[in-house]
Structure 1
Amino acid sequence: MNNRENTRVLIAEDAHLVSEMIKILLEELGYTVVGEAADGVEAVEMAHVLQPDVILMDIEMPNMNGIEATRQIQAQCPTPVVMLTAHESDRLVVEVSDAGAGAYLVKPPRAGEMKRAITIALARFDDMMALQESNRRLEETLVELQAAQDQLVKQERLAAVGQLAAGIAHEFNNLLTAIILPAQVGLRKPHLLPSDLTQTLESIINGSKQAAHLVKQIQDFGRRSMMDTKPIDLVSLVEETTADLQQAFPENVHLLLEMGTRKHIVDADLTMMRQVLMNLAANARDAMPDGGELRIKLERIEIEPGGSPPLPEMKEAVPNRGWVCLAVSDTGVGMTKDVRAHLFEPFFTTRLPLRTGLGLAQAHGIVKQHKGYIGVETEEGKGSTFCIYLPVYVESVQEKVETESLAASLRGDGETILLVEDNAVLLMVGQDVLQMLGYHTLAAANGQEALKVYQAEGGADLVITDLMMPNMGGRELAQELKKANPDVKVLAITGYTVWEVVEELKGAGFCGVIYKPFDVDQLAQAVRRALDE
């Protein structure tokens, strides 16, 4: 402080005459003496109460010496200190500095020396406070960087697992299609079946569809599922979903809703978000085997520029954007640190063999696909809270009624369809299904063969092609067909359901996409829609 009239000084000196002499000297220099302490204990107490700007502290005092008093003051209420000593030594200088004093004076002090010592102590104290603040910020930054690094490693691990899972899901979709279609073809020809096979085929179809649902969960985790997004009100979603949950949950699980009166509109896939809520609610129910309270809360949050987001990874989000927080809380058993570390990994579960371990992984994938974030707060024995943050829908909601009317009959009228598929089983079964639906079929095992068949037969009303094939894939085949006939209709078959891929296919001239696994009805609808366009 440059203005000495405003500098408040506390004197800690057990010799009364010395203390008075110092007081007179300080006042002559323009400082204000706010108190005099007779020992170290009193000095610590008066530092708390008076909060002086600087303390002149004698070293040798009863009850508590000046060095210990300085240590306690710096620990409890940091204040600049000038030590007073009757003699100086190198050891003393080190002790004084280690205790936190900024300067020292040899008694009896002279005016100039005192003034200089106080100035030095004040300046060093400011430097020390600035250094401590810098260290504090550095520590906080290091903690944030470590958290960010941990989060990045976790996200990369989940992304790698998701990519692997998506590839596996694609192969399973091929297999499931090859199982479902022949079984359905058999059911549609009851006169050719022994009576005892009907129930067997129905069991095969039902089991395959359950497997397809499991594959869908894997794809959701890997963010490989198609989304049909539109503005939806999460309030309505929660109300409708909880009505179903109340019927399914045991009586000792009590559902509580906190949603307020306002709407919470987000741009989302209704079916996917319903699945997320169902998965989180099921997880909460399983965490409360003896019953408890399941609370679902909706609220709007705003993150001000420079403000701290609820989750560290949300710093990467678009600034000045409102969020809807969907929180699902339970009063169950909570989670250990180890469980929490693997929480969103597929097939990780603490409830084998009752659960697959895909519910939370699927929820995580769906939320991320919606450009949202998901986090959890948990404590062993006290329960868990999952919080989902979705961007608020920024445009006004326009209700749009869309009605789709399929043709009265999905059967064909002898149209020619060229089916291109490298999987021999799918090619054979696909031909059987299309012929059963009333179409004339041509077949090819890859793109090059398909071009020859197309040219030899003088074209086709529709080409249905798989995308991944040897020699020539579906994309290249579509390009070559378009060169020969710009009006040719090409329908893609794929086990991948990434939105970007679908958009790319439409841009490449495909009139539609069929997603594996598909059944007879889905194939019939897709073919009829493509032909009628």
Structure 2
Amino acid sequence: METDPSLPFIAPEMLSVLISPSGRQLDANEAWLSVFGNDLWGRLPPEDARFAQEHTTEAIRGGQVLHQVYLVPSRGDEPIPVLLHFHPIREPDLEPGRFPVMVTGEVMREPVSWAAEQTRRRRMEMLGRMSMGIAHDFNNLLTAVVGHAELLRSDLVHLQAAADAHGHLRALEQAARDGASLVRKIQGYIRDEKKERAEPVLLHEIAEEVLTLTRPYWYNEPRRQGIAIRVESELRPVPPIMGTPTELREVLVNLVLNAVQAMPAGGTLSLRTARSGTSAAAVQIADTGVGMTESVRRRIFEPLFTTKGQAGTGMGLTMSQGIVQEHNGRIEVESAPGRGTLFRLVFPFSHDTPKPASKVARVLEDAPADGLRILVVDDEMMVRTVTTKLLRLRGHTVESADGGPAALEVLGDDDAFDIVITDLSMPDMSGRELAAAIRLRHPGLPVLLLTGDTDAESADVDAVVKKPFELDDLVAVVRRVASGAPEADRRR
């Protein structure tokens, strides 16, 4: 592969730098200094410097951040691409969430077009981060809508309101739940920073989610351009396969978008799931678009091969094939010029079965039914207020705190509460950091994380409830966690 002659020569030595828990550069090898200098992220453009600082902060808090690419300006026309990994250095005697960080990496050599592609990818990453922030705020709004609807239902019962009023309320709640479901699907698609564990996955459910996610591409945008794309779906239930939902969604989204782009004058997009023999599940994406010649069809999975000119990267189908193969599956392609294209993905059945969805309350026969003493922690007053009112409605004694530091003050040194319910994303102190602090000061006090984040599991919390929540589900989890917490009976 040819290299850009404008790039300075840098020996193929691993770059490494040690960063203190306060974010200060402590030590760096010569390779690092030759690229980044002594000012840590000072040579990076402002946007990349902000990303690097965010990744450093995440590692200081204990998270490992891998495969991050940055563009370091050079004297030539093109910047230097550098691949970095952020590793927290964990020691038992260190304060949780305050770890030194070792950053390692290497200079990458790629074609000249690489920098432009990375700029596009960085913009998409920023768009994804913005979307996650909007989703977080939207989940808080939906939490307030659902919570006040629950409070309104209680008032309507006491006022003996007409049946129509209850019907309007049910419609309002359903709309809020549908909105929350859509937000979760968007979050699940965007959040791919961490590798998911393989789990039993229902392929027909993934396909249905993808149809919802891609609706703007096959419905809204074509109609704005005066084009009609008809969608036919036959999503038959099939036994589960073993896989990671985010990666499977990525493959199907890519194939759906390719199908839409292959129908510039409109046509029919079809999505079907079915059994393939006795031991596999298949999902099929087909279009009635321009189709491909046999010579093109044979090359579509080659890296950097594209028929879209400057608009294509030539990596979409290559990555999709890799993901399918990682799932022990295969991709079959049928196409002809003017006759459209059909992609069929076939995956072996999983030997495990998904856990059936059920109300948490069904397994809580032995949980305590009397009122609990609860501390609700959230920096959003709207969410904090409605959560407090809902829990009081069920007979619990509830206090609230505006953020982590305020919560620690309320807790003090006494065992005055049976459980703490905290938001995840808060300024000054996150929900994870608050949970870690509670573990040190009040080892027997259960902590429940209440969040709209799709990636909220933590070793320091006893349970996670997603926003927006239904009151029955929240109360059931609160009772279960409180009943199983050490020293819960002594504190009551």
Matched, 1:462 2:419: yes
Matched, 1:230 2:230: no
Shift of 1:344: 12
Deviations 1:262-284 (A, max 9, x none): x9953345x99699879978997
Deviations 1:40-66 (A, max 9, x none): xxxxxxxxxxxxxxxxxxxxxxxxxxx
Q: Report if the CA contact (8 A) 1:299-1:326 is conserved.
A: no
Matched, 1:397 2:351: yes
Equivalent position to 1:205, from 156, 164, 173: 173
Distance in 2 of aligned mates of 1:450 and 1:282 = 47
Q: Report if the CA contact (8 A) 1:285-1:294 is conserved.
A: no
Distance in 1 of aligned mates of 2:394 and 2:145 = 18
- Residue identity opposite 2:174 in structure 1: N
State the percentage of identical aligned residues.
Answer: 31
What residue in structure 2 maps to residue 515 of structure 1? 466
Shift of 1:531: 1.8
Distance 1:438 1:334, change over 3 A: farther
Deviations 1:326-368 (A, max 9, x none): 54223356799499759999xxxxxxxxxxxxxxxxx99x999
Shift of 1:448: 2.2
Shift of 1:482: 2.1
Higher alpha-carbon Rg: 1
What residue in structure 2 maps to residue 406 of structure 1? 363
User: Normalising to structure 1: TM-score of the pair?
Assistant: 0.47
Deviations 1:136-187 (A, max 9, x none): xxxxxxxx95897787666544433222211211111111111111112211
Distance in 2 of aligned mates of 1:256 and 1:423 = 40
Matched, 1:530 2:487: no
Shift of 1:470: 3.7
Equivalent position to 1:188, from 154, 160, 163: 154
Matched, 1:440 2:440: no
Q: Secondary structure at 2:363's aligned position in 1?
A: coil
Aligned length: 328
What residue in structure 1 maps to residue 429 of structure 2? 472
Distance in 1 of aligned mates of 2:355 and 2:240 = 20
Distance 1:341 1:525, change over 3 A: farther
What residue in structure 2 maps to residue 11 of structure 1? none
Distance 1:278 1:417, change over 3 A: same
Shift of 1:210: 2.3
Q: Report if the CA contact (8 A) 1:294-1:331 is conserved.
A: no
Shift of 1:254: 9.5
- Residue identity opposite 1:208 in structure 2: A
Shift of 1:466: 1.2
After superposition, where does 1:13-52 map in structure 2 within 5 Å? none
- Residue identity opposite 1:522 in structure 2: D
Q: Secondary structure at 1:465's aligned position in 2?
A: strand
User: Normalising to structure 2: TM-score of the pair?
Assistant: 0.50
What residue in structure 2 maps to residue 329 of structure 1? 286
Distance 1:147 1:465, change over 3 A: same
Q: Secondary structure at 1:493's aligned position in 2?
A: strand
Q: Report if the CA contact (8 A) 2:373-2:417 is conserved.
A: yes
Distance in 1 of aligned mates of 2:395 and 2:412 = 23
Equivalent position to 1:220, from 188, 194, 209: 188
Shift of 1:462: 0.4
Distance 1:210 1:325, change over 3 A: closer
Distance 1:331 1:489, change over 3 A: same
Q: Secondary structure at 2:426's aligned position in 1?
A: coil
Distance in 1 of aligned mates of 2:434 and 2:248 = 37
What residue in structure 2 maps to residue 162 of structure 1? 128
Q: Secondary structure at 2:384's aligned position in 1?
A: helix
Distance in 2 of aligned mates of 1:372 and 1:148 = 30
Distance 1:497 1:434, change over 3 A: same
Distance in 1 of aligned mates of 2:409 and 2:441 = 12
Distance 1:410 1:186, change over 3 A: farther
Distance 1:423 1:280, change over 3 A: same
Matched, 1:416 2:385: no
Distance 1:155 1:471, change over 3 A: closer
Q: Secondary structure at 2:152's aligned position in 1?
A: helix
Distance 1:387 1:190, change over 3 A: same
Task: Give unmatched runs, 5+ long, in structure 2.
Answer: 1-109, 211-229, 293-306, 485-492
Distance in 1 of aligned mates of 2:131 and 2:401 = 30
Distance in 1 of aligned mates of 2:343 and 2:117 = 17
Distance in 2 of aligned mates of 1:372 and 1:328 = 15
Q: Secondary structure at 1:417's aligned position in 2?
A: strand
Shift of 1:488: 1.1
Shift of 1:188: 3.0
Distance in 1 of aligned mates of 2:325 and 2:186 = 14
Q: Report if the CA contact (8 A) 1:491-1:514 is conserved.
A: yes
RMSD: 5.7
Distance in 2 of aligned mates of 1:256 and 1:182 = 36
Distance in 2 of aligned mates of 1:255 and 1:146 = 44
What residue in structure 2 maps to residue 113 of structure 1? none
Q: Secondary structure at 2:149's aligned position in 1?
A: helix
What residue in structure 2 maps to residue 482 of structure 1? 439
What residue in structure 2 maps to residue 66 of structure 1? none
